[in-house]
Chain A
Amino acid sequence: MKPMRIALTKGRLEKDTLALFDRMGLDTSAVRDKGRRLILPVNLPDGSIFEVVLAKAADVITYVEHGVCDLGVVGKDTIAEYGGSFYEVLDLGFGRCRFALAAPKDTDFFEGYTTKTVASKYPNVSSTYFGKKGMDVRIVKIEGSVELAPLLGLSDAIIDIVETGSTLQENGLDVIEDVMPVSARLIVNIACMKLRKKEIESFVSHMEEES
């Protein structure tokens, strides 16, 4: 049988996941010393091997959804924005932050009859949020620093990921409402969950114990 394959979101979640793997007693030296390789072996204490794949957040979902990776570690922000069909089995607890709606200080976002404009890197999260509120807003997708949009007068507010809130502060924005909490999740391909139940369950519960 092929080794199990887990896709990790490159960057901060990767570091936190590797720390978790270390606590689980896995040998992560190959991943830490990866060079330019993208598929790396990790040794389990029982001698078996599984493969770690390093990918961008949205790609983690794509690889797991198509079953070319069995498991994936990805932020809830990415899951909320891109969706997809897979099992979301664990809240890993790290990578904590939140989606928030923020507007320039001393403005009332909800006031008046005019349709408001909201800038975001996460257009789906934004439209779902306002859809639930029954509020019609214009959503503009921004790729880089979203804080710029209200400063330049393009939008009335933004929806973005907020950790400490200091970036917002420095740009004269205030959080109006929290949209949803975010943290890293473990996702599993649906078919793999059924075909490799034992392996996956034991790995997941081991992960749960240490997270």
Chain B
Amino acid sequence: MQKNLRITPEGTRDLLFEECLARRKAESILSNLFQLRGYSEVMTPGIELYDLFDAGEPVIPAESMYKLTDSRGRLLVMRPDSTLPIARLTATRLKDAPFPVRLYYAQDVYHMNHGRSGHNDQQFQAGIELIGASGERADLEMLSLAVESLRICDVGDFRVEIGHVGFFLSLVGQLNVDDDVKDTIRTLIEDKNYAALGGVLDTLEPSDPVDFIRMLPRLFGGEEVLETAWALCSNTESHAALKYLSNLYKKLCALGLSDHVMIDLGMIHQNEYYTGVIFRGYIEGSGDTVISGGRYDTLLRRFGSDLPATGFGVNVDSLTKRMLERQAVDPPKPSIVLVHALPGYETEAFVKVGELAYQGMVCEFSVFNSLEEALVYAERRCISEVHAVSDTIKIYKL
């Protein structure tokens, strides 16, 4: 027997029945939400040129992309992210559109994970991009839709936490250190590695920004976080970022979302393209981030189009898993009727199948030669009725 014939590649899997229903349900709930808020669907290719995701500085880590080559030897990748392709299509195909444009997508993305880590390499994401709009109103729309995406899927307790890239950048900009150290500090804050962060900061000259950065990983929670931070920092850029977050937060609270919204000043996204407000969503029972998004005002410049933008993506697989655990999905309908043709009545039986299906009944055409086999099959499949078609129709209830 050939090897590897009966397995799927690591990090991928088949979806069967309820799993498909749950995925389609989550997808349709989200698509519907996005459409009703004025977003139009776009689909981008499953494979893209490598350059899209690595122009000078890598936007997506090169080692986490699935790569192949085209017929001209150029490097291709399996779509690792939908925001960059959508930025490209906006800057090219939609350059004359009236801005802002509201786009949504629901498609797979691919990431190569460490071997046998149990993470999915293929992930179904649904998300939106609001391109050509800057400012608080656009950010507010994004955040409220992020919260709504999780609420509407009914997956139990959830949180969306908000941060601001400018906050970290202005603080670290005040430090007189090289980029390597900045990178280290960034990672340590992101990992909430209090101990190691302290170690790195101890080697720097004491100053207000150093003291503040030391606190940064702990600065997450409700409004009190903003107050603490305000008192601790003094430069105008940081204050501006705090004020911006505070306004957003108040408006989200006024929308009744205070239970689901948190601030995390120590949040720094891995994706390098974010420039302003960033956010993430978490749901009960899932260890992963299920929403990831933020503002990316400089990204479209790469494609020659200077448009501010913001957006987010939802990990639909995590939602689906949770919906199945909570049994928030209707089980698949069993076939209700099996139509069996007695010898010579195949055409009549087929007409009957068509009629019943047209009435909205689920019915199967029996491919068995004998009625006995059909009845045995019906019993095993929990089919409730067998219609035996000849000149008349005899109905067997099981």
Chain A residues near B (Cβ < 8 Å) = 62, 64-68, 83-91, 185, 188-195, 197
Q: Chain B contacts of A67 at CB under 8 A?
A: 285-288
Supposing A62-B118, A66-B118, A197-B221 touch, asked if A191 and B193 sit within 8 A by C-beta, the answer is no
Q: Which residues of B contact A84 (CB under 8 A)?
A: 117
Contact status B289-A190, CB under 8 Å: yes
How many whole Å from A129's CB to the nearest CB in chain B? 15
Q: Could you tell me if A195 and B284 are in contact, using CB atoms closer than 8 angstroms?
A: yes
Which B residues from 116 to 141 make CB contacts under 8 A with A? 117-118
Q: Report the minimum CB–CB distance from B371 to chain A (whole Å).
A: 51
Taking CB atoms, residues of chain A closer than 8 Å to B307 are none
What is the bound-complex CA distance between A142 and B159, given in angstroms? 44
- B192 in contact with A192 (CB, 8 Å): no
Contact in complex: B161, A191 (CB < 8 Å): no
B192 touches A193 (CB 8 A): yes
Minimum C-beta distance from B120 to chain A (A): 12
Q: Give the CA-CA distance A85 to B118 in the complex, in Å.
A: 13
Knowing A66-B287, A68-B287, the reply to whether A195 touches B157 (Cβ < 8 A) is: yes
Residues of A with C-beta under 8 A to B195: 88-91, 185
Contact A89 B288 (CB under 8 A): no
Q: Residues of A contacting B158 with CB < 8 Å?
A: 195
Q: Any chain A CB within 8 A of the CB of B368?
A: no
Which residues in window 317-344 of B have CB below 8 A to A? Answer: none
Bound form: Cα–Cα A106–B246 in Å: 64
Distance (Å) between the CB of A208 and the closest chain B CB? 9
How far, in Å, is B379 (CB) from chain A's closest CB? 40
| Chain B residues near A89 (CB-CB < 8 A) | 192-195
B282 within 8 Å of A (CB atoms)? yes
Indicate whether A88 sits within 8 Å of B196 (C-beta atoms), given known contacts A194-B159, A194-B161: yes
Contact status B221-A65, CB under 8 Å: no
> In the complex where A65-B287, A191-B286, A191-B287 touch, is A197 in contact with B191 (Cβ < 8 A)?
no
A59 CA / B221 CA spacing, docked (Å) = 30
Q: Among A62, A66, A90, find the residue whose CB has the most chain B CB atoms closer than 10 A.
A: A66
Closest Cβ of chain B to A188, distance in Å, is: 7
Interface residue from B192, B284, B286 paired with A88 (Cβ < 8 Å): B192
CA distance A62 to B192 in the complex (A): 18
B283 within 8 A of A: yes
A91→B195 CA distance, assembly (Å): 6
B283 touches A191 (CB 8 A): yes
List of B residues within 8 angstroms of A65 by Cβ: 117, 287
Cβ of B262 within 8 Å of any chain A Cβ, yes or no, is yes
List chain A residues, Cβ under 8 A from B287. Answer: 64-68, 189-192
The answer to whether B220 has its CB under 8 Å from any CB of chain A is yes
| Chain B 190-220 residues near chain A, CB threshold 8 A | 191-196, 217, 220
Is the pair B118, A195 in contact by a Cβ cutoff of 8 Å? no
Beyond A191-B282, A191-B287, 12 extra complex contacts between A and B, CB < 8 Å: A66-B118, A67-B288, A87-B191, A90-B195, A91-B195, A190-B289, A191-B286, A192-B287, A194-B161, A195-B282, A195-B284, A197-B262
Q: How far is the CA of A91 from the CA of B282 in the complex (A)?
A: 26
Report A150 CB to chain B, min CB distance, Å: 29
- Cα–Cα, bound, A188→B191 (Å): 10
Residues of A within 8 A of B286 (CB): 67, 191
Q: Which 3 A-B pairs have the closest CB atoms?
A: A67-B287, A87-B192, A91-B195
List, sorted by A's number, 28 A–B pairs whose CB atoms are closer than 8 Å.
Answer: A62-B118, A64-B287, A67-B285, A67-B287, A68-B287, A87-B193, A87-B217, A88-B192, A88-B194, A88-B195, A89-B193, A90-B194, A91-B195, A190-B282, A191-B282, A191-B283, A191-B286, A191-B287, A191-B288, A193-B192, A194-B159, A194-B220, A194-B262, A194-B282, A195-B159, A195-B282, A195-B284, A197-B262
Determine which of B114, B117, B192, B289 lies in contact with A191 in the assembled complex, contact meaning CB atoms within 8 Å: B289
Nearest chain B CB to A70's CB is how many angstroms away? 9
Alpha-carbon separation in the docked complex, A201 to B194 (Å): 13
A130–B159 CA distance with the chains assembled, in angstroms: 41
The smallest beta-carbon distance between B63 and chain A, in angstroms, is 12
A195 cross-chain contacts in B, Cβ below 8 A: 157-159, 282, 284
In the bound complex, residues from chain B placing their C-beta under 8 Å from that of A62 are 117-118
Give chain A residues whose Cβ lies under 8 Å from the Cβ of B221: 197
- Encoded as 1 (CB less than 8 Å from any A CB) or 0, chain B from 25 to 39 comes to 000000000000000
Q: Determine the residue in chain B with the shortest Cβ distance to A192.
A: B287
Annotate B282-303 by CB proximity to A: 1 below 8 A, 0 otherwise: 1111111100000000000000
Q: Which residue of A lies closest to B290 (CB)?
A: A191
- Residues of A close to B285: CB separation below 8 A: 67
Who on chain A is nearest to B160 by CB? A194
> Which of B157, B288, B289 is the most central at the interface, judged by chain A CB atoms within 10 Å of its CB?
B288
Q: Smallest distance from the beta carbon of B308 to chain A beta carbons, Å?
A: 28
Write the chain B residue with the least CB distance to A193.
B192
**Cα–Cα, bound, A194→B195 (Å):** 20
Q: Looking at the assembled complex, report how far the CB atom of A198 sits from the nearest CB atom of chain B, in whole angstroms.
A: 9
Q: Which residues of B contact A193 (CB under 8 A)?
A: 192
**Bound CA–CA A91/B194 (angstroms):** 8
Least Cβ–Cβ distance between B145 and chain A, in angstroms: 19
Q: Return A196 CB to nearest CB of chain B, in Å.
A: 9
User: Roughly how many angstroms separate A194 CA and B286 CA in the complex, as a whole number?
Assistant: 12
Q: Give complex CA distance A89, B286 in Å.
A: 20
Residues of A within 8 A of B191 (CB): 85-88
Give Cα distance in the complex from A192 to B287, angstroms: 7
B320 to chain A, nearest CB (A): 16
Chain B 77-92 against A: per-residue CB contact (8 Å), 1 yes, 0 no?
A: 0000000000000000
